Amino acid sequence: MSTDASAPEEDTVMSTIEKKITSELKPVKLEVIPAYGDPNGSHVTINVVSQAFEGKRAVQRQQMVYKVIWEEMQGAIHAVDQMKCQTPAEAGM
């Protein structure tokens, strides 16, 4: 995600999602990628690598992520184009 070096730091939808997932799932790797490069856009791709997913099926892992960003999902975000939830082992880390 590229940021404009001259713009003041502000809370975008994407940065809020990143902060929440980071705080709750303690990922070793996290990508929150807005579609069309819009940090306040309504479509997003989320890739999370976290030990918290260990032992959980794909559907449970996504439920964990949705729980963390539920507010954003009810409001700003209309669609998740892709959500990948892996453990560090699965991600080859």
Partner 1 sequence: SQAEVDEMLQTLINKSPIMLFMKGSPSQPQCGFSKQMVSLLQRHNIEFDHFDILQDDLVRQELKRFSKWATYPQLYVNGELVGGLDICKELVEAGEL
Q: Which residues bind partner 1 (CB under 8 A)?
A: 58-59, 62-63, 66-67, 69-70, 73-74, 77, 79-80, 82-83
**3 vs 89 by CB, closer to partner 1:** 89
Nearer to partner 1, 50 or 62 (CB): 62
What's the closest the beta carbon of residue 73 comes to partner 1, in angstroms?
4
Q: Which residues contact 19 (CB under 8 A, 6 or more apart)?
A: none
Q: Are 50 and 24 in contact (CB under 8 A)?
A: no
CA distance 70 to 66: 5
